[in-house]
Amino acid sequence: MDALKKKLMTKLTKKQKELTKQYDLQKAYPLEEAVRLVGEITHTKFDASVDIAIRLGVDPRKSDQMVRGIVILPHGTGKEVKILVLCTPDKEKEAQEAGADYVGLDEYLKKIEQGWTKVDTIITMPSVMAKVGKLGKILGPRGLMPNPKTGTVTTSVGKAVQEVKSGKIEFKVDKYGIIHASIGRVSFSGEQLRSNVLELMGSIIKLRPTSSKGTYVKSISLSSTMSKGVFIDKNSTPGL
């Protein structure tokens, strides 16, 4: 353990080394303390994102152990989300009134074909998915392809826009068995970050595959855009 810590420290800048003296890189802290520490070791001139990394005891290569879902964070992510709604003309007003940043169909499909993808989320309708599906090679790698399972393919486009704007996020385990997600900003209060973490963790726990054996949640860590990770003691997270 000491060798690992020494290796991590050698990769840090002088300023980062001073900051890491405030906590133990390998210690798992109670959630409330971990949230506080991330704020204390973050010294940026901008409102840095606070991110969570959850390592699960699953094998993503097996289809029955894929963990993927959606959750509405109680306090949102603090990020301004740009939403494109690809819909028929009769749904355009509904999408606009709900707060969509871009609304239309053919003109945006053409823009995407030409390489435009300056949005965070795309919401569409079942009736136009055939058109949208043709752009899979562009949208898929960028994580922008609408999916009924995540609520981004729906006839209730207005409701879908409101949910995303209010803090709805998608999460998916990567090939290493880790879920990465943004759960707020360093400007958030400790209680806001804590509530967001617990909401996300609750959703992940409910999605535990029946074929997953042994320890499901192996580790949880928090970090900001410019900080090292702070491990969270799983015992401080209800349900684990």
Q: What is the mean pLDDT of residues 73-87?
A: 95
Burial class for 78, CB neighbours closer than 10 Å (0-12, 13-18, 19+):
buried
Cα four-point dihedral sign 150, 219, 142, 35: positive
Q: What is the mean pLDDT of residues 100-118?
A: 96
Domains in the chain (CATH in brackets) are: 25-77+168-236 (3.30.190.20), 83-165 (3.40.50.790)
Q: What is the mean pLDDT of residues 112-133?
A: 96
Q: What is the mean pLDDT of residues 161-169?
A: 93
Whether the pLDDT of residue 183 is over 90: the answer is yes
Give me the chain's average pLDDT, please: 89
Whether the pLDDT of residue 91 is over 60: the answer is yes
Give alpha helix (H) positions in 41-178: 92-98, 106-113, 129-133, 136-139, 157-165
- Helix H, strand E, coil C: the string for 148-162 is HHHCCECCCHHHHHH
Model confidence at 4, pLDDT cuts 50, 70, 90, reads very low
Identify whether the C-beta of residue 123 lies closer than 8 Å to the C-beta of residue 91. Answer: no
What is the reported pTM? 0.79
CA angle 80, 84, 85 (to 5 degrees): 130
Model confidence at 57, pLDDT cuts 50, 70, 90, reads very high
Q: What is the mean pLDDT of residues 158-181?
A: 94
Burial class for 35, CB neighbours closer than 10 Å (0-12, 13-18, 19+):
buried
* pLDDT for 7: 45
Whether the pLDDT of residue 144 is over 50: the answer is yes
**For residue 194, how many other CB atoms are within 10 A of its CB?**
22
| Percent residues over pLDDT 70 in the chain | 90
How far does CA 36 lie from the centroid of its chain?
Answer: 20
* pLDDT for 21: 65
Strands (E) in 27-97, as ranges, are 28-29, 49-56, 68-72, 83-86
